[in-house]
Structures are given as C-alpha cells and as structure tokens.
Amino acid sequence: MKKLLALLLAVMMILSFASCGDKKDEEKTQVDLGVIAPLTGSVAQYGTGVYNGVSLAVEEINAAGGILGKQIVIQKFDSKGSETEGVNAINALITNEVDAVIGAVISSVTAAIAPLADEAGMVVVTPTSTADTVTEGYDYVFRTCFADSFQGKLAARYADKLGKTKAAVLYISSDPYSAGLYEAFKAECAALNIELVSVQSTASKDDTDFTTQLTTIQATGVEFLYAPCYYSAIGSYIIPQARNAGYNGIVMGADGYDGVIPYMADPKSMYENVYFTNHYSKDDVNPVVQNFVKSYTDKFGADTLNSFAALGYDAVYMVKQAMEEANTTQDKEAIKAAMADINFSGVTGSFTLDETGTPQKTAALLGFKDGAEIFVESVGLE
C-alpha cells in the first residue's frame, strides 16, 4: 500500500512539473513557413516545381527585407503524395507552431489536411489543388489556383464561342481530375445547348492506345473534342492517333497539357488546333510574369518551369500580402481575415477570393504553333 502511495505521489509530481513548462507568448523574430509537397514519389515533379517556386519567392522576399521586417524560414515536409504522410506533416507543423503553411500539392492530400488545419486555426494556402471540394467549408484553407469545374466550364464556353453545337469527349474514367473536368464540361454544355454526340473513356491514365475511341469520334463528324488528359498521353498518343484516324478538328484540354512539348511527335503541325486552359502564359508581356520567368530560369533552368512553379511562387506572395495587411505575422485569425479579403495580383493573374477561398480569376488559353506554345487569349466566365 505504501509503495502504491509513493508511486501515486511520484506521478503527481511529474504532472505538476510538466504543467510548469508553459511557454510565454513571445514575439517571434522570424516567420516560419511550412511547406508540404511531394518531393519524392510518383508526383514528385509537381512537388519539385512548387517547391522551387516557393523557395524562389522566399529568397526574393528575404533579400528585400522579409515580411514586416522578419525573415522567412522554410520548414519543408515531403508528403510523397500520400495522405498519411500529409497528415503527419500537418500535425508536425501545427506542433512546431509555424505561422502559415503552403500545401499540399495534389488534391487528395489537401483534402486530408484541410480539416486538421481548420480545427487548429492554421492558415493553409494550397497552390495547386484544383479539386472542387478541397477548400469548401474550411475557413482557414485557401488556394492560388482555380478549381476544376471552372476549367470545364471555360472549355464549353469556348466551344460555344466558336459556334460549335456538337462536341465529343475522351476522358479517363478512373482519374478524379479527368472525370471532374468531364462532369463540369458536360453540365455547361447542357446549359449552352451543345450536344455531346460521343462520350468515350479510357480506364487508366497509363493507357497508350486510343484508336478505337478516336475512330468512333471521327465517325460522328464532330469538330470539337474535349480531352482532359495528361501531357504525356496527349503528346505521344492521343493527338498523333487522332490525326491518323482522320480527325482534324479542335482538341481542347486543361492544365494537364502543361509540359506537353517534349512529348510531341513529328510533324509538329499535328498540334495546331490543339488548345488548353492554363494558369498563366510564359509569353505574357506583364513585367511580373517576365520577371518571374527570368529569375526562375536563371536559378533552376527552363525544364521545370511550369504552372506549378508559378502557383507556388504566387502562394508565398499571397501569404506575405495577407500578413502585411493584417499587420502581424503571428495572429492567425487576423491573417485569415486578411486572406479572405485579399485583392492579389501576381504571376498567375489578378484576383479576389470567393467564399470558399478559391480565386476568381481568368485563365490563359494557349495553343501550339510549330511545336511551341502560343498565347491565344485570356478567358474568364464573365
């Protein structure tokens, strides 16, 4: 009995010691910025692009005196594109009391970390998660990119603008990105009285043979094909096979086409009449864009320069602007309020955020000529 009492007392003592360790609310002398991105694994190239963009922006801001006079220190976490690792990372960042988080990159990981961040009152800006639902209902979660449904709508509007009344679709049924874009496109087509004469799908994003689907589409005599797929499939397989099947109409896609140029087959003239919506255009004459393109290319080379890098870069500047407008780097409530009311202008356009924290912005419509990207026009919903 005595032993038990002694044990109990010892436990109580430990407890009371531990409760003495409360930290004082000291003003930090730096801004801790957490970054969650897949730096290894199957989507590593997206994460690398984002991380490069983030580190470029941080370097620039620090060289110019930091945010409110405080230097930014990055805490980098590799999510490997897995939800579990993403949750571990956000838990660690909340524990480390960082001031804001940039991430995650792919939508499924962002969907996993959003409720945790929101509960802990941590400001999270995802640069690139385009799935419609990831920011819905979470006050502390914002994004820099537009949502998938927006791009699907834009494509339907563009078809309408070109005077097409019939369209065909080729999409990847198992892929959330592709399926989401198709659904948004379908809904907008119904609103605009565009008839979908042929809807073809493929089971996996790794498929390489689309001849059957494309021949069926060609047989309907349609002149507008919406194919929300990824750059490798578009460049190497879909366009050459479509042109082989005798389809010479328009092929339209979304930001998944970004990076297609190295995958193009000869002759490059096949890729004329191929259009896609993207977050920004390298050829935009806006000095902000040109400045970004130049500093990025100088630092990391042109190979990894894609919209992921641009969005990562903008996300950091969004955090900076929100902190400056709130006049604090630590009061998350104030930063969140400033972020919700932000009127931001950066590489990927000028925008305000809607009630879900999604930018209201325009997209760049890009095409190809002689194997190079050309800027067609800026498109928006208005």
Partner 1 sequence: MFSKLSSKVNFIAVTLLFLILVVLRETGIFNNYVMGILMLACISIIMTASLNVATGYLGQLVIGHAGFMAIGAYTAALITKAFANADILNGSGIENFFRFIIAIIAGGILAAIFGVLVGAPTLRLKGDYLAIATLGFGEIIRVIIQNLKICGGKGLAQGSAGQALIGINRLADFYVVYWITVLSLAFLFCFARSRYGRVLKAIREDEIAATAVGIKTTRYKILAFSMSAFFAGLAGGIFAHYLGTLAPGTFDFNKSIEYVIMGVFGGMSSFSGSVIAGTVLTVLPEALRSFADYRMLAYSVALILVMIYRPQGLFGSYEFSLTEQLDKYFDFTNKVQARKEKKAAEKKAGKAAAGEGGEK
Q: Which amino acid is at 84?
A: T
Radius of gyration from C-alpha coordinates of the chain? 24
Among 14, 68, 162, 381, contact with partner 1 (rule: CB under 8 A): 14
Q: Which is nearer to partner 1, 132 or 283 (CB)?
A: 132
CB of 91 to partner 1, least distance (A): 4
In whole angstroms, what separates CA 359 from the centre of its chain?
A: 11
Between 287-300 and 307-326, two packed helices, what is the crossing angle to 10 degrees? 120
Q: Which is nearer to partner 1, 121 or 267 (CB)?
A: 121
Q: Which secondary structure element, helix H or strand E, spans residue 352, and what is its range?
A: strand 349-353
Q: Which is nearer to partner 1, 81 or 240 (CB)?
A: 81
d(C-alpha 109, C-alpha 77), whole Å: 13
Among 44, 73, 74, 116, contact with partner 1 (rule: CB under 8 A): 116
Closest CA to 189 of 134, 226, 230: 226
Among 13, 121, 161, 174, contact with partner 1 (rule: CB under 8 A): 174
d(C-alpha 178, C-alpha 253), whole Å: 10
- Phi then psi for 153, rounded to 5 degrees? -60, -45
Please say whether the beta carbons of 147 and 188 come within 8 A.
Answer: no
Among 73, 74, 87, 261, contact with partner 1 (rule: CB under 8 A): 87
Q: Does 139 bind partner 1 (CB under 8 A)?
A: no
Q: Per CB under 8 A, which region of 17-25, 246-254, 263-271, 360-368 contacts partner 1?
A: 17-25
92: left (phi > 0), else alpha (psi -120 to 50), else beta? alpha
Helix ranges (H only) for the chain are 2-20, 44-63, 83-95, 107-120, 148-161, 176-191, 211-219, 231-233, 239-244, 287-300, 307-326, 332-340
- At 202 the three-state DSSP class reads strand
d(C-alpha 196, C-alpha 180), whole Å: 16
d(C-alpha 64, C-alpha 25), whole Å: 28
CB of 209 to partner 1, least distance (A): 19
Q: Which is nearer to partner 1, 170 or 310 (CB)?
A: 170
Q: Six-digit token pair at 86?
A: 């993403």
CB of 99 to partner 1, least distance (A): 17
Q: Which is nearer to partner 1, 74 or 376 (CB)?
A: 74
Q: Per CB under 8 A, which region of 155-163, 177-185, 317-325, 369-377 contacts partner 1?
A: 177-185
- Phi then psi for 296, rounded to 5 degrees? -65, -45
Q: Does 176 bind partner 1 (CB under 8 A)?
A: yes
Q: Does 173 bind partner 1 (CB under 8 A)?
A: yes
Q: What track of x and - describes contact with partner 1 for positions 23 through 62 (by CB under 8 A)? A: ----------------xx----------------------
Q: Per CB under 8 A, which region of 105-113, 311-319, 321-329, 352-360 contacts partner 1?
A: 105-113
Please work out the total of residues on this chain that contact partner 1, with binding judged by CB under 8 A.
38
Q: Per CB under 8 A, which region of 15-23, 235-243, 280-288, 338-346 contacts partner 1?
A: 15-23
CB of 18 to partner 1, least distance (A): 4
CB of 42 to partner 1, least distance (A): 9
Q: Which is nearer to partner 1, 40 or 244 (CB)?
A: 40
CB of 115 to partner 1, least distance (A): 5
Q: Which amino acid is at 332?
A: K
Among 183, 207, 283, 331, contact with partner 1 (rule: CB under 8 A): 183
Please say whether the beta carbons of 124 and 114 come within 8 A.
Answer: yes
Q: List contacts with partner 1 (CB under 8 A).
A: 11, 14-15, 18-19, 21, 39-40, 76-78, 82-84, 87-88, 91-92, 94-95, 107-108, 111-112, 115-116, 131, 133-134, 173-176, 178-180, 183, 203
